């Protein structure tokens, strides 16, 4: 299938608008559930689907926190919030993120990831080895006195697949794989006041269907069919099943557990900085061009 860059750019425009809405509306004291559902509804209201559930990862959490159906958590004062989202048009996905800091205490950390992203983008062109981009991100981190997260990074984006084809490190990992003209990528520097390594935490609300399997309960069969119809192989949130199927939270969780046991789902647990360091992130999706790049989000 020929790549439709216009469809990609339409999704990118909506993603950028959603991030702007996040900047304008998110404040400490708001419920995380309300924030996530507002941004998701905004994207759908613009004629797009979601590349993945809106991520609202706070402080030492780096990625993959999306609220539960009954989540009563509120955004704390003086927190560092990563807003990671993406709009989708058909098979064309985008991915972008900003960090909102509600305290001057971590302004250098936030500036580090933002500056690293812009500096990395300036290097993008066909033929550029990915480790050179990573080296620049690492240099910016060092300048600001923070550490890049070494086991997270940017990625290629292909039709139907959000993480594909190439890994773009946040430090010089020695990988000289060259970027290719026409390739769609996301660059996402993660910075931390900690040691620079994430591990899986306990919060798990995001899944992706990766295969079929034998299911015993009607609830699980209904959930599987609902995922096929509405989300295909794209990531979804537990609360989406609760809202869409009307099963109730307990039965939705039970259906997911049965699908997990059947090997049908890939889980995306929250990722937490191992030493408890604060984390910031900025991300944009790009199209690699011969001598530069086109920013999509």
Active-site residues, by number, are 84, 95, 155, 163, 188, 283
Q: What 3-state DSSP class applies to 9?
A: helix
Joined together, the tokens standing for residue 275 give: 């030493």
Report the alpha-carbon distance of residue 49 to residue 86 in Å, rounded: 9
Q: What are phi and psi of 291, to 5 degrees?
A: -120, 5
Look up residue 157 and give its two tokens: 């984006």
As given in the structure block, the two tokens for residue 40 are 């998701």
In the three-class reduction of DSSP (H, G, I as helix; E, B as strand; rest coil), residue 95 is classed as coil
From CA 224, how far away is CA 226, in angstroms rounded?
A: 5
Are 199 and 151 within 8 A, CB to CB? no
Rounded Cα–Cα distance for residues 281 and 65 (Å): 14
Q: At what angle do helices 5-25 and 32-45 cross, to 10 degrees?
A: 140
Query: Tokens standing for 49?
Result: 């689907």
Distance from chain centroid for Cα 75: 19
* Nearest residue to 153 via CA among 51, 271, 296: 271
CA atoms of 291 and 86, how far apart (whole Å): 26
């Amino acid at each position: 299938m020929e790549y439709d860059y216009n469809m990609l750019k339409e999704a990118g425009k909506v993603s950028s608008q959603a991030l702007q809405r996040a900047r304008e509306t998110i404040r400490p004291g708001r419920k995380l559930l309300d924030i996530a559902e507002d941004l998701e509804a905004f994207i759908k209201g613009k004629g797009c689907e979601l590349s993945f559930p809106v991520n609202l990862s706070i402080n030492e959490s780096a990625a993959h926190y999306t609220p539960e159906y009954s989540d009563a958590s509120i955004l704390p004062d003086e927190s560092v919030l990563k807003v990671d989202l993406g709009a989708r048009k058909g098979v064309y996905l985008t991915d972008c993120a900003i960090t909102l800091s509600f305290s001057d205490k971590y302004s250098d950390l936030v500036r580090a990831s933002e500056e690293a992203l812009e500096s990395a983008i300036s290097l993008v062109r066909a033929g550029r080895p990915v480790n050179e981009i990573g080296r620049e991100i690492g240099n910016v981190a060092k300048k600001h006195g923070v550490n890049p997260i070494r086991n997270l990074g940017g990625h290629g984006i292909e039709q139907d697949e959000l993480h594909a084809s190439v890994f773009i490190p946040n430090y010089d990992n020695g990988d000289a794989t060259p970027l290719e003209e026409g390739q769609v990528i996301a660059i996402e520097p993660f910075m931390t006041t900690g040691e620079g390594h994430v591990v899986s935490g306990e919060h798990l609300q995001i899944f992706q269907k990766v295969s079929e399997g034998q299911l015993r309960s009607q609830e699980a069969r209904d959930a599987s069919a609902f995922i096929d119809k509405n989300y295909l192989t794209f990531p979804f949130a537990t609360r989406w099943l609760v809202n869409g199927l009307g099963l109730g939270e307990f039965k939705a969780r039970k259906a997911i557990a049965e699908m997990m046991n059947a090997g049908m789902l890939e889980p995306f647990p929250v990722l937490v900085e191992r030493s408890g360091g604060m984390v910031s992130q900025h991300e944009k999706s790009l199209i690699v061009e011969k001598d530069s790049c086109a920013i999509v989000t």
